């Protein structure tokens, strides 16, 4: 006895899954139900071959299991044929798109660019088709890390189909996120403790500054008190310095505002250097500033950008510990006039080429126990990316490491804001 196209699609042996990439936000809407009629369309992708009743029963059982399992998966599956016609969708669909035939990938995945959509219908060599990175689109601008995979389902008798699997969260990613939340809570608690300590220090420091100034003015009228005047001046300056540092520390520990503003880049860098001054001095590091721009402004959140540079300067000081060296910070025009480059170059031990591709991964570190959490560079990347910028690293063992940040200027970002409704 024969049956119509009753063979399930199977993956081509040796197909490989691509690395995790960013395709943009998960489309909003509701998850499409996997009904029997939808699954029946899978049969149209199969090769017409004679089968017996037993084979037909096995196929039907597989379809029933597939119908039950797909809605429970932590991923969405989309199957399209070579003409970009949708054969099966089990995923969250964009608003206004209903489950059914005829949806091309540009509607199912609004984050994909035109050339990426077109590749679905191209004749492809090999078993795996990597979609690539899509731009953020849709109502939510939050980037979504997904696992993309596209490969032929059938090789004979029908046009090739491709699948795109969107994995919102893997188990490993979830564990990393949980660990990062725990670490963040620890740092938040530490920030509250620091804020309390600084508050207690502010009053006596303010008194020291005031009395030092009073003594200096009283002593200035005495001709034989020149040395005492200088001592009073130094006391006042030292207390002022501690007071400024403590206030900056509280501002740094305080949760940042969500609304970005024009941030003086050089001031942020200088503040981060003050925070790292002790660590840099302990490692024997000399700091050199090379400002090729005058008072550049970037649109961002000052506290977050300060954290970026604190993390990078701390890394540099650790890399130069025990050997000393120079930390060179350069600001210049970026790849376009609307962007600013910040280059941070150290004379440290460098990064092993085998580790270079992993330095931005959460919790990846080559430091000894107690020297780091492995979150510093991951936080740098996340903050810079959220500001519309980019960060890259190059390194040579025993020679040093260079981090290059590119940030959009305040003028550029301001000019791209939507017009006011007033």
Residue with tokens 């899978």, as numbered in its chain: 42
Predicted confidence at residue 389, as pLDDT, reads 92
Q: Among 199-208, 222-231, 302-311, 387-396, which is the least confidently predicted range?
A: 199-208
Instruction: Say how far apart CA 84 and CA 164 lie, in whole Å.
Output: 12
Please report how the helices 302-319 and 376-386 are oriented relative to each other, as an axis angle in degrees rounded to 10: 150
150 vs 141: CA distance, rounded Å: 24
Looking at per-residue pLDDT, the higher value among 164 and 398 belongs to 398
pLDDT 10s digits, 217-226: 888 888 888 8
What is the model's pLDDT at position 16?
A: 41
Residue 84 in contact with residue 73, Cβ under 8 Å? no
Q: 144 versus 96: which is more confidently predicted?
A: 96
Region 100-123 average pLDDT:
56
> Please, what is the angle between helix 302-319 and helix 265-275, to 10°?
50
DSSP letter assigned to residue 31: B
Question: How does residue 392 score in pLDDT terms, banded at 50, 70 and 90?
Answer: very high
Sign of the Cα pseudo-torsion (346, 351, 356, 361, in order)? negative
179-194 in b/e burial notation, b at 16+ Cβ within 10 A? ebeeeeeeeeeebeee
Q: What is the pLDDT of residue 317?
A: 92
Mean of pLDDT over the chain: 69
Closest C-alpha among 88, 108, 134 to residue 27: 108
Helix H segments across 70-145?
105-108, 114-118
In this prediction the pTM is 0.49
How high is the pLDDT of residue 64?
A: 74
Which of 92-96, 150-154, 214-218, 409-413 bottoms out in mean pLDDT, i.e. has the lowest?
A: 150-154
Q: Which residues touch 271 (CB under 8 Å, ≥6 apart)?
A: 248, 252, 306
Q: Domains in the chain and their CATH numbers?
A: 20-168 (3.30.450), 170-255 (1.10.287), 257-422 (3.30.565.10)
Sign, CA dihedral 179-181-183-189, equals negative
Phi-psi region of 284 (alpha: psi -120 to 50; beta: other; left: phi over 0): left
Q: Cβ(105)–Cβ(80) under 8 Å? A: yes
Q: Residue 243 pLDDT more than 70?
A: yes
Q: Which residue has the tokens 């206004």?
A: 96
Residue 6, classified by CB atoms within 10 Å of its CB into exposed (0-12), middle (13-18) or buried (19+), is buried
pLDDT level of residue 113 (50, 70, 90 thresholds): low
């Amino acid at each position: 006895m024969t049956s119509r196209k009753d063979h399930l699609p199977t993956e081509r042996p040796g197909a490989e899954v691509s690395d995790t990439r960013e395709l943009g936000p998960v489309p909003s809407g509701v998850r499409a139900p996997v009904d029997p009629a939808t699954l029946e369309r899978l049969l149209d992708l199969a090769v017409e071959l004679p089968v017996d009743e037993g084979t037909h029963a096995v196929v039907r059982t597989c379809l029933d299991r597939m119908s039950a399992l797909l809605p429970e998966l932590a991923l969405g599956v989309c199957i399209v044929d070579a003409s970009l016609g949708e054969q099966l969708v089990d995923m969250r669909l964009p608003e206004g798109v209903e489950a059914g035939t005829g949806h091309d990938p540009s509607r199912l995945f609004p984050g994909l660019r035109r050339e990426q959509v077109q590749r679905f219908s191209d004749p492809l060599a090999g078993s795996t088709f990597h979609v690539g990175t899509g731009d953020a689109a849709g109502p939510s601008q939050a980037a979504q890390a997904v696992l993309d995979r596209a490969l032929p389902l059938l090789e004979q008798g029908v046009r090739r189909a491709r699948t795109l699997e969107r994995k919102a969260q893997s188990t490993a990613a979830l564990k990393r996120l949980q660990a990062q939340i725990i670490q963040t809570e620890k740092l938040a608690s530490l920030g509250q403790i620091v804020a309390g300590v600084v508050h207690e220090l502010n009053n006596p420091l303010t008194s020291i500054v005031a009395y030092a100034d009073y003594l200096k003015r009283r002593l200035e009228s005495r001709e034989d008190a020149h040395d005492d005047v200088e001592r009073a001046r130094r006391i006042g300056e030292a207390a002022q310095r501690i007071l400024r540092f403590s206030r900056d520390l509280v501002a740094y520990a305080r949760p940042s505002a969500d609304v970005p503003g024009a941030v003086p880049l050089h001031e942020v860098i200088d503040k981060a250097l003050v925070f790292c001054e002790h660590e840099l001095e302990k490692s024997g590091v000399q700091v050199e500033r090379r400002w090729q721009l005058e008072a550049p402004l970037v649109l961002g959140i000052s506290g977050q950008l300060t954290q970026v540079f604190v993390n990078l300067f701390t890394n540099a000081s650790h890399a130069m510990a025990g050997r000393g060296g120079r930390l060179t910070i350069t600001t210049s025009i970026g790849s376009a006039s609307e962007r600013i480059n910040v280059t941070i170059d150290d004379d440290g031990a460098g990064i092993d080429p085998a580790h270079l591709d992993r330095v931005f991964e959460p919790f990846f570190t080559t430091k000894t126990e107690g020297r780091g959490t492995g979150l510093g560079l991951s936080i740098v990347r996340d903050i810079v990316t959220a500001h519309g910028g980019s960060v890259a690293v190059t390194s040579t063992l025993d020679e040093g490491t260079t981090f290059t940040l590119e940030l959009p200027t305040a003028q550029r970002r301001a000019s791209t804001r939507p017009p006011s409704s007033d």
